[in-house]
Structure 1
Amino acid sequence: MDEEDVDNQLAIITSGQSSIHPASLVATRSNDGKTIVSFEPNDPDNPYNWSTIYKFCVIGIPALTVVNSTMASGLAAGGSVFSSYFHVTDSAELVLPTSMYLVGYFFGPLLFGPLSEQYGRRWVSLIAFALFTIFTMACALAPNWPALIVFRLLVGIPASCPITVVGGVCADIFATSEARGRAMAIFMASTVFGPLIGPIISGYMAPISWRWAFWIGLIIAGVTWVPLVFVPETYGPVLLKYKAQKLRKETDNPNIVAAIELEKHDIRHIITVVLTRPLRMMFFEPLVLFSCVYLTYVYGVFYMFFQAFPIIYQETYGFTAGQMGLAFLPIGVGAAIAMFIYLGYDIVLRRARAAQKPWATNREMQRLPLACIGGPFIVASLFWTGWTARPSVHWICPVLAGIFYGIGYLLIFMALLNHLVDAYEIFAASAMAAAGTMRSLGGAVLPFAARPLYEKLGVPWACSLLGFLSAVIAVVPFVFIRYGDQIRARSRFCRYLEERRAEAERKKEREAERARRREKAEERSTRRKEKREMEV
């Protein structure tokens, strides 16, 4: 853990979240005489003070970029089309268009998550989506197989940006964990529906040309640009930097700054501190590490379906490529059900807090019970699929098992990612980057094992093996609930972060008290002045 990194970032965030009196809009730093701007009470520029409707619009538009990103992961699901066009016969090579895209997901979060905490969400997102659009077009125009593989990698790197940054946006604009959790539920649902759309587009465009799947993706990206250019910056420290720049220009005072402008920006600091922050969190924070392990497995199994569904549905039931794509839709139905389960639990939690139930104040109980529920749904779905996918059983039986997978998948993701955002609020984007990086590695690697696994073990036992492994790894949220306090207490990062946050809160309270005293003194002075004028 880099304690200086935590101190700097905490100073930046607390200045960005300040809601003290206008009289203390600037606070002097004793060491160098700089005056640091902060938000006024009810300041309309503070994202926390935006209207609820506007906040969900701000979240909804980046969610469209998430749909673009995740949908593009499934646009190359039709391996047989590439086989006939490029004369590729090796089954492992046919996995590459999807896996290389997810390799891009592995590298992208390490770049975009920390950079969004350094330079803001808006410009990082716009640059990344521009690169995504360009390389999507490059995929459609790929002249040969190696070029397609390279372009899939290059489009995957910027495609990871929305998934990484949107979690940070939720932390930027929602002050309470309840509101942030509801916004994250919408965001996570968009990450599920995207990959389900991709195989459908790929399957039905295949008879025309494999290129048309990418052209459709490019058209959707073009439409997304229309609202995307109007999305505002949400990162408080960057908004304060804009405010400081405006005040410097108006007052001609170079000493007016925002806290983020005082942070180091040299290339050594960027590389050794900012860009390595997700990796440090992944390897030295048990909450991040084991959450990543669980998410990686669930995510990897989901992308194994891209290789397993042709065996299950095309070879067993004679589905066309388009029909096979439609077999993914029940997962989306399950995800929609999971979102309602999440919102229902949110209502139960709020009522328990209002009734002052002891369990409702437990940090682990805010999110993790949903992951405990989601694990058994994943296990049941895999066994259900494995032992009903046979010619003697109607195809609807294994297809409907996808509903259970969708429920479990989204509940686990919503619970664990929300738990990470709540625990590492000031570094939410970096925590999301760590989770995104590791699960993308699973999504890129595990599909290579899908066809050999299903061909050697058969559909029933291949699904059963995945189900048994799912049952073992499902203990992770139960362990977090039981030992969460102890895990945080042994974490240098969490312990130091809590201490610095408490100190920052005490400092803010002292500043607010001084501001109130100044206000009362001003009121008394005004009354005395008015009294003297009346006497005259």
Structure 2
Amino acid sequence: MYDHHEALSGKGDDGQKPTYIDWAEYEGEHPWSWPERSKWFGLGVAILFNSSTAMNATGYSTTTEQGTREFGLDDIEWLTGTTAYMVPVALAPLFLSPLSEVFGRRNLCLITIFIYTMMYLPQALAPNFASIIVGRIIQGVAGSVGNTMVGGFVADLWPKSKRSVPMSFFVLMVMTSQGIGSTACAWTVQYHSWRIIFWWQAAVALATFGVMCIWLPETRADVLLAWKAKKLTKETGRTHFAKGHDEHVSMLQTIKHNCSRPVLFFTTEPIVTSLSLWGGFVWAVVFLSLRGVKYVFAPYGLSAALKSTTLMAYAAGGLLGFFSNLHGARIYSRALAKGKARPETRLIWSMPAAVLTAAGLFWMGWTARESISIAVPIIGFIGFAWGNYIIYTSVLVYLADCFETYSSSAIACQALMRNATAGVLAVASDPLYLNLGVDKAHTMLGAIAAGLGAAPFVLYMFGPQIRKRSRVCTRLAREEEEKKAAEQGAKQVA
């Protein structure tokens, strides 16, 4: 199970050289070696937390009419509650993710979901709007773990070559939960008080906390190995360390690293910049649409709950995107078998997705007319959601392939842009539609999506040349060449 390596220098607490332990490749207790059923069960439990945060993010806007009347606010003031939630979701992982390296994913998830659940109380019982804002800020910080860490569970449980399907399933659950959250909350508001929304979401979160306490496994390999080293130290009386575990890196250094590198990637890596802007914008449109459906489907005389039910288009589009990604995974596998799987192969489906998102926005804006069947703009909505799903997943896997050991920083930059933009633009929906009208608003949004959607076409054609000019990609290529040279040298010696 473990390879033991004597340290070349230094001594443990017992005055002897410490023993370093490492995983034997794909053996025993390493999460990659767990049975597939155990992996999927563990991922499913983690997704429950993520789904709760997604329903929270999209459900809040449905409380606007009742909440503004009770506290004497205008719509924009009330919708800052979405910003108060989404901006911490974007920023907090920069500070919280290092904690998983020390305490593990399970412990961090359990602590944060408990705080997340408790923060529903000041919102459900709020005597004033300030209570809601404070509750949502704290809830956003805690919920950021469930929002962003599921991707980490996927990486923990599957090697890179096998992550496509579980990552696709994760994103499908995100988009389905967004549609369910907005729809369920809208129907709740139509027949009950807006406060009931926070009560039933609290019940869902509390049930999730109970399930996670019982069944959520620890999946982070370096933490499991560190725990094993401590156990061996206790059993043998001789100091053991996990190989590669740097006892001298402080939490402050790790946080500084996490905060600075995404900013560095965004400002110096054109690949990260273009994909972060593109993915961030289309994700922000999701949150614009939470209020936008009120205006888009106004000609059809629907109730507020029925208008919000159209947001189930995200679930329908996500399902189409899921099957598209399965096809994309097969394309990549065939290319890999032929030795031609360059990272840009991951972008093949993202090119039609760029067309789908822009066309879907134009379609909705130009066809939402009383004289045209409601099914027509809904089809455009599904097309936008379909493209959005593909963008979400293809950008993640492409950045992972391009930047490999530095992929977490590239993905963190993209996630930061996505959630921060969504939080900031969430309050712009009413002014946008009231000032421009549905047709002009969607024309503007579609034009921006079309412009930013040039990114996958450019990267697919010129990605290899761009990567050659990237400092990070060049360094990774050099390290790979040095590794191959070392392996060849070892074979010649043998």
TM normalised by structure 2 equals: 0.91
Instruction: Give the counterpart of 1:151 among 120, 126, 135.
Output: 135
Q: In the alignment, does 2:65 pair up with 1:86? A: no
Q: What corresponds to 2:423 in structure 1?
A: 444
In the alignment, structure 1 residue 385 sits paired with structure 2 residue 364: yes
Contact preservation (8 Å) 1:307, 1:450: yes
What is the Cα deviation at residue 253 of structure 1?
Answer: 0.9
Match of 2:308 among 305, 322, 325: 325
Once the two structures are TM-superposed, the CA of residue 471 in structure 1 deviates from its matched residue by 0.8
Confirm or deny: 8 A CA contact 1:334 1:404 kept in the other structure: yes
CA distance in 2, matches of 1:215, 1:320: 23
Query: Residue by residue, what CA displacement relative to the aligned partner does 1:71-98 show, whole Å, maximum 9, x if unpaired?
Result: 100221121121122121x232132122
Cα distance, 1:476 vs structure 2: 0.7
Q: Does 1:166 align with 2:150?
A: yes
Asked whether 1:30 is paired with 2:14, we answer no
Match of 2:14 in 1: none
Report if the CA contact (8 A) 2:294-2:308 is conserved.
no
Q: Which residue of 1 aligns with 2:231?
A: 246
**8 A contact 1:295–1:435 mirrored in 2:** yes
What does residue range 513-524 of structure 1 map to in structure 2 within 5 Å? none
SS at match of 1:390: coil
Q: How far has the Cα of 1:386 moved from its partner?
A: 0.6
Matches within 5 A, 1:392-407: 392-407=371-386
Partner amino acid for 2:224? Answer: L
Distance 2:492 2:9 in 1: 23
Aligned pairs (5 A) from 1:76-225: 76-78=60-62, 79-88=64-73, 90-117=74-101, 119-177=103-161, 179-206=162-189, 207-225=191-209
Does structure 2 conserve the Cα–Cα contact (< 8 Å) formed by 1:112 and 1:165?
no
Hey, what's the Cα distance between the residues in 2 that align with 1:75 and 1:40?
Answer: 46
Is structure 2 residue 471 aligned with structure 1 residue 482?
Answer: no
Q: Is the 8 A contact 1:370 1:411 kept in 2?
A: yes
Counterparts of residues 231-380 of structure 1 (less than 5 Å): 231-254=216-239, 256-259=240-243, 261-313=245-297, 315-354=298-337, 356=338, 360-365=340-345, 367-380=346-359
Query: Kindly tell me: are residues 511 and 209 of structure 1, through their superposed partners in 2, closer, same or farther at Cα, counting changes over 3 Å?
Result: farther
SS at match of 1:76: helix
Instruction: Quote the offset at 1:392 in angstroms.
Output: 2.3
Q: Secondary structure at the match of 2:80?
A: helix
Deviation digits for residues 300-331 of structure 1, max 9, x if unmatched?
11110012111222x43232221122111122
Indicate how the Cα distance of structure 1 residues 237 and 510 shifts in structure 2: closer, same or farther if over 3 A, else same: farther
Count the aligned residue pairs: 485
Deviation at 1:391, TM superposition (A): 2.2
In structure 2, how many angstroms separate the alpha carbons of the residues matched to 1:491 and 1:34? 39
Report how far residue 507 of structure 1 moved. 7.2
- 1:56 maps to 2:34: no
Q: 1:462 to 1:483 in 2, by over 3 A?
A: same
* Percent identity between the two aligned chains: 28
**1:469 matches 2:448:** yes
CA gap 1:372/1:316 in 2 versus in 1, 3 angstroms: same
Quick one: structure 1 residues 451 and 384, their matched pair in 2 at CA, closer, same or farther if it must change by over 3 Å?
A: same
Q: Is the 8 A contact 1:291 1:416 kept in 2?
A: yes
Task: Confirm or deny: 8 A CA contact 1:171 1:428 kept in the other structure.
Answer: no
SS in 2 for 1:38: strand
Structure 1 residues not aligned, in runs of 5+: 1-20, 518-536
- Matched residue type, 1:29: A
RMSD: 2.5
Q: Which has the larger radius of gyration?
A: 1
For residues 261 and 477 of structure 1, the distance between their equivalents in structure 2, rounded to whole angstroms, comes to 37
- Contact preservation (8 Å) 1:99, 1:447: yes
Q: Which amino acid aligns with 1:368?
A: L
User: 2 CA distance for matches of 1:353 and 1:489?
Assistant: 21
| CA shift for structure 1 position 274 | 4.0
Q: Tell me the CA shift for residue 512 of structure 1.
A: 11
| Contact 1:171–1:421 (8 Å) recurs in 2 | no
